[in-house]
Amino acid sequence: MNTILYRLLCVAILSLSAGCTKILDIEPNDRVSPEDLFASKEGVEAQMANLYGRLPIEDFNYSPNRGFNIGVGNDVNNAGFMAAHFSDEAIHPEYNDFGEEWFDYWEDGYRLIRDINTLLQTVPQLANIDQAAKDKLSAEGYFLRAYTYFALAKRYGGVPLIESPQLYDGNINELKVPRNTEKETWDFILADCDRAIQGFGDAENGPRRADKWVALALQSRAALFAASIAKFSHQPYVSFSGPAVDQGLVGIETKFAETYYDQCIAASAALMKSGKFGLYQAEPATPEEAAENYRQFFQQPDQYLNGVREPIFIKSYASNTPLAHNYDVWFSPRQMVLDPNLYPGRMNPTLDFVDAFEDYTDDGTGKVKPLNTRTDGNEGDYNGFNLQTSYIAYPQDAPYQIAEGRDARLRAMILFPGETWNSTRIIIQGGLVKSNGSGFYYRTQASETGQDGQTYYTYGAASGTQYSGFDPTLGHYTRSGFLFKKFMQIDHPIEQAWSRSTQSWIDFRYGEILLNYAEAVVEKSSPSGEENQTAREALNSVRRRAAHTDQIALNQQNVRKERFVELAFENKRRWDLVRWRTFHKSFENRVRKGLVPFLDLRSNPAHYIFVRVNPLGIEAKTFDYLWYYKDIPGTSANGLIQNP
Amino acid sequence: MKSNVTFYSLIVCSLLGASCQKDNLDGPNATFYGELRDRKTGELIPQEVSDGSRVYYIEQGWANPPVQNTVIKSDGTFKNGMMFSGDYKIIMDRGNYVPLDTLDMNIHKGENFKVFEVNPYLRILEPEIVKKDRSIIATFKLEQVTSNQVYRISLFAHAHTDVSNKLNIVNKTLDLNRSITDGETFQLSINLDEYSSTLVAGNSYYFRIGAQSQGNETKYNYAASVKIDL
């Protein structure tokens, strides 16, 4: 019996192998050839959607601890970490993660580049589309490639520049391309932008796909990055050592900074002169109006795409698919999200950030105005509550008045204690001062009778679902004393569930271009009078949109402050600190600060006071200068020279 | 039938065992340890407890060998008990001392002891930290070893003896950004009233003077930490 089976098996195997001899010549059924794919409009759309979808856009689904497109092919739960948590913009109420990105953007980047190179190689050979369509597709290819190399260069410095798809012919060593210098890498990115700009012509294709204007915006941003590397990667800012430095694979000679700043100025100026873009509601009548405009704009950017528009390039999402995002789940206040499977309240803007705004003194100096907490004006004390200290009293029903008179954007981005979310009053309170003045509670739930005979609680209410701050359980409650409003769906609440958020991400907007221009002019060595004038107008028009009425001077401090407050939470801040090479100096054993509202029962009616603190459980953080360049993965196999 | 199964599984198991032996590599067989000492005074050079100086080394004889490193401990000694014997390039840089030239060194089986004599960027001379009324006052002089200017001087406080730039709860730093004159005396102080919740009366804390030189990839130089009861 067994022998018969074996024989049958042998025959079967032999016949199978006989049928397979031409296996290498068979066209695989699970692949589509480029000709077939690009034969139809739908095929082109599908391939371009694929490439755009994989583009390393630092959007709502980018997380420094997980990478790009979280939720696509992996778990959507990234613990609610965003780039803001890895900078001075925010702290996280549950975890202390910080530092350089925790993932490598290397293989994904080169896979995408390979597919883009294949596109660029295929398009000219296509028979069934006209030359104009070919030019547009190629231009998009150059844009996508520039964007991808930009993502590599800002992480790794000089990288191998691969301009056409590699072919494997049995010699593995031919596939190993050494690193180009950092200068060559940036030059290549800017040249790809130029190729894209040339290829597109003036036809509009935006804002969800690239056109000339999107390519110019990318060039503006990339040139500014390259210029900053050239200018600030030297003493006294920071310097590195090792073979990668000796061979120019990281760092650019200072003398090249000028060229890059000029390229940024030229690209930004082209956008500014195009007449197609402008700030949304550029001249509000009052700060209140400015705050509402700014908030609405980020809440629903898709509604502001007609006519002269601010968004230049946006990324949209689809609800209840892996292509949705989760900002509304992660960052709504605890009181708005009661589902035990969701984890709200994870974005806690820092007091450092809140203190970085101007008020409306508008005396032309642009100086920042930290919040007022004490009658003696000593705003440098982070020792916590003290019974002897004289604090400024804010009304029990309106503690948010502490933000009164501050820059409109602050109120548009930050939820202050006692403000309403849709129609719910959000309670953020971390302490309670006893009515007889004999003591206080701080971050332990307790109750106390006020002078009006009512019962008051440390966190502002008896139950954990009725307040949104400071309770150390669950990590649902803010530790900094602030919550987050930018981008959030407050006016039209969406279902509180995973993957429901679809507000578009603005990747490039006119406001950034204005500030790029201003920064390039400030940093270059001898700008012309006209450039100075335009840059000052650009800087002040961004402020004007926030209802400021004066003209502040064009200098490094003012430009950097304006970028901080205008572009906050748009995932730009970390890279600003990186390219200015100020990250390691501003984060040296630094604790990001918080502000605790205490309900003070010593008066009748009770009143709120605010106490500056080092938030409990928030560790001191250091940014190591060696993190400016990430380690290249797999150097023992790919033979690349490692970064410092 | 049952015995067959046992028989075959025995064969499979023995095959598995046989194949594993060839895959086994010899483990680390060398220990590399030593000290970082001041070439002039002969003293150990104290280090930052985190992100301090390191001994970097590259094992020769491999394609694309990575740079490995061993942390120099806060007392200025280092020890790696898991080294492979062989030829190494030793790189002594990115520390709080003037970098040395790359050194070729054979690490042999067993124990290898090495003292690296270096010039610290800055020497902190005659350090004195005292509590006076409600202040902690640090007084010291500096010896600037290189032509690099002094970047900054600091007084740090922490409950742990390894108090330093990366481990402190109070940090009084003064940016100098200049060269110093010989015999110049520096003073830094911490007003305890400003730090009532961090430096709590009744507890003990360590205080330490640090100074950092300008230059490429420098780190702080430290005096010994001093314990003071508040």
* B40-81: pLDDT as tens digits: 999 999 999 988 999 999 999 988 898 999 999 999 999 999
pLDDT tens for residues A101-132?
Answer: 999 999 999 999 999 999 999 999 888 888 99
Cα dihedral value A146, A151, A154, A156, nearest 10: -110
Whose structure tokens read 């003696």? Answer: A376
Question: Residue A622 and residue B166: Cβ atoms within 8 Å?
Answer: yes
Judged against a pLDDT cut of 90, whether residue A288 lies above it is answered with yes
- Taking contacts as CB-CB distances below 8 angstroms, the residues of chain B near A241 are 93-94, 99, 216-217
**Using CA atoms, how far apart are residues A354 and A92, in angstroms rounded to an integer?**
16
Tell me, yes or no, if A241 comes closer than 8 A to chain B by beta carbon: yes
pLDDT tens for residues A543-572?
Answer: 999 999 999 999 999 999 999 999 999 999
Q: What per-residue confidence (pLDDT) applies to B197?
A: 87
**Using CA atoms, how far apart are residues A543 and A605, in angstroms rounded to an integer?**
39
Q: What per-residue confidence (pLDDT) applies to A443?
A: 87
A633: which residues sit within 8 A by CB, 6+ positions away?
A104, A106, A107
- Beta-strand pair B135-144/B122-132: antiparallel
- Beta-strand pair B103-107/B86-91: antiparallel
Q: Establish whether the linkage from the previous residue to B28 is cis, with ω within 30° of 0.
A: no
In what side-by-side order are the strands of the sheet with B185-191?
Answer: B122-132, B135-144, B185-191
Of A383, A635, A636, the CB nearest to B197: A383
Question: Residue B217 and residue A239: Cβ atoms within 8 Å?
Answer: yes
Query: pLDDT tier at A357 (50, 70, 90 boundaries)?
Result: very high
- Indicate which of B48, B57, B64 best probes the interface with A, i.e. most A CBs within 10 Å of its own CB: B64
Question: Residue A240 and residue B93: Cβ atoms within 8 Å?
Answer: no
Whose structure tokens read 């906050």? Answer: A568
Closest by Cα among A344, A342, A343 to A331: A344
Measured CA angle at B88 (ends A640, A631), to 5 deg: 30
- Taking contacts as CB-CB distances below 8 angstroms, the residues of chain B near A240 are 216-217
Chain A, 362 to 421: residues with Cβ < 8 Å from chain B are 381-384, 386
- Taking contacts as CB-CB distances below 8 angstroms, the residues of chain A near B99 are 241
Strand partners, A421: A424
Q: State the SS3 of A204-232.
A: CCCCCCCCHHHHHHHHHHHHHHHHHHHHH
Beta carbons of A431 and A446 less than 8 angstroms apart: no
Q: What per-residue confidence (pLDDT) applies to B10?
A: 62
Query: pLDDT tier at A402 (50, 70, 90 boundaries)?
Result: very high
Tell me, yes or no, if A472 comes closer than 8 A to chain B by beta carbon: no
Nearest CA in chain A to B213: A236
Q: What per-residue confidence (pLDDT) applies to B2?
A: 57
Q: State the SS3 of A115-171.
A: HHHHHHHHHHHCCCCCHHHHHHHHHHHHHHHHHHHHHHHHHHCCCCCCCCCCCCCCC
Task: Using only the alpha carbons of chain B, give its radius of gyration.
Answer: 25
B25 Cα to chain A: minimum distance (Å): 19
Question: Residue A588 and residue B168: Cβ atoms within 8 Å?
Answer: no
Q: What per-residue confidence (pLDDT) applies to A473?
A: 86
Q: What per-residue confidence (pLDDT) applies to A474?
A: 86
B108, with CB counted inside 10 A (0-12, 13-18, 19+), is exposed
Q: What per-residue confidence (pLDDT) applies to A23?
A: 63
B19 Cα to chain A: minimum distance (Å): 26
Closest by Cα among A627, A582, A641, A574 to A240: A627
Beta carbons of B158 and B176 less than 8 angstroms apart: no
Share of chain B above pLDDT 90, in %: 81
Q: What per-residue confidence (pLDDT) applies to A22?
A: 60
B8 Cα to chain A: minimum distance (Å): 18
- Taking contacts as CB-CB distances below 8 angstroms, the residues of chain B near A625 are 217
- Taking contacts as CB-CB distances below 8 angstroms, the residues of chain B near A236 are 177, 214
Q: What per-residue confidence (pLDDT) applies to B17?
A: 54
A421 Cα to chain B: minimum distance (Å): 35
**Using CA atoms, how far apart are residues A92 and A346, in angstroms rounded to an integer?**
6
Tell me, yes or no, if B59 comes closer than 8 A to chain A by beta carbon: no
In what side-by-side order are the strands of the sheet with B77-83?
Answer: B77-83, B30-38, B110-118
Q: What per-residue confidence (pLDDT) applies to A192?
A: 98
- CA torsion sign for B40, B46, B51, B56 is positive
A183 Cα to chain B: minimum distance (Å): 21
Average pLDDT over residues A156-165: 97
B150 Cα to chain A: minimum distance (Å): 12
Q: What per-residue confidence (pLDDT) applies to A370?
A: 96
Tell me, yes or no, if B94 comes closer than 8 A to chain A by beta carbon: yes
Question: Residue B63 and residue A639: Cβ atoms within 8 Å?
Answer: yes
Judged against a pLDDT cut of 90, whether residue A73 lies above it is answered with no
Through-space distance between the first and last CA atoms of chain A, rounded to whole angstroms: 68
- Taking contacts as CB-CB distances below 8 angstroms, the residues of chain B near A589 are 165-168, 171
Average pLDDT over residues A20-49: 77
**Using CA atoms, how far apart are residues A298 and A309, in angstroms rounded to an integer?**
13
Average confidence score pLDDT of chain A: 93
Average pLDDT over residues A578-605: 96
Question: Residue A241 and residue B216: Cβ atoms within 8 Å?
Answer: yes
Closest by Cα among A506, A287, A313, A310 to A409: A287
A330: which residues sit within 8 A by CB, 6+ positions away?
A80, A343, A344, A346, A347
Tell me, yes or no, if A322 comes closer than 8 A to chain B by beta carbon: no
Judged against a pLDDT cut of 60, whether residue A12 lies above it is answered with no
Average pLDDT over residues A236-240: 92
Query: pLDDT tier at B3 (50, 70, 90 boundaries)?
Result: low
Q: What per-residue confidence (pLDDT) applies to A521?
A: 98
- Taking contacts as CB-CB distances below 8 angstroms, the residues of chain A near B63 are 636, 639
Burial A20-45 (b: 16+ CB within 10 A, else e): eeeeeeeeeeeeeebeebbbeeeebe
A380: which residues sit within 8 A by CB, 6+ positions away?
none
Nearest CA in chain A to B194: A381
Q: What per-residue confidence (pLDDT) applies to A34?
A: 74
Which of the residue ranges A71-80, A189-198, A524-533, B84-93 would you say has the lowest mean pLDDT? Answer: A71-80
**Using CA atoms, how far apart are residues A97 and A90, in angstroms rounded to an integer?**
12
A350: which residues sit within 8 A by CB, 6+ positions away?
A88, A89, A90, A91, A480, A482, A592, A593, A594
Question: Which carries the bigger pLDDT value, residue A112 or residue A14?
Answer: A112
pLDDT tens for residues A315-343?
Answer: 999 999 989 999 999 999 999 999 999 99
Average confidence score pLDDT of chain B: 91
Tell me, yes or no, if A4 comes closer than 8 A to chain B by beta carbon: no
Supply the ipTM of this predicted assembly.
Answer: 0.85
Which of the residue ranges A249-253, A274-278, B4-8, B126-130 would you say has the lowest mean pLDDT? Answer: B4-8
- Taking contacts as CB-CB distances below 8 angstroms, the residues of chain A near B213 are none
Question: Residue A625 and residue B217: Cβ atoms within 8 Å?
Answer: yes
| A to B CB pairs, distance under 8 Å | 47
A138: which residues sit within 8 A by CB, 6+ positions away?
A120, A123, A124, A199
Judged against a pLDDT cut of 90, whether residue B161 lies above it is answered with yes
**Using CA atoms, how far apart are residues B151 and B220, in angstroms rounded to an integer?**
10
Tell me, yes or no, if B191 comes closer than 8 A to chain A by beta carbon: no
Tell me, yes or no, if A422 comes closer than 8 A to chain B by beta carbon: no
Share of chain A above pLDDT 90, in %: 86
In what side-by-side order are the strands of the sheet with B103-107?
Answer: B68-71, B54-59, B86-91, B103-107
pLDDT tens for residues A473-485?
Answer: 889 999 999 999 9
A11, with CB counted inside 10 A (0-12, 13-18, 19+), is exposed
B94 Cα to chain A: minimum distance (Å): 8
Three-class SS state of B229: strand
Which whole-number Å values give the CA distances from A218 to A143, A495, B68, in the listed order? 8, 35, 38
Nearest CA in chain A to B177: A236
Tell me, yes or no, if B66 comes closer than 8 A to chain A by beta carbon: yes
State the DSSP H helix or E strand holding residue B6, giving kind and residue range, or none if neither.
Answer: helix B2-23
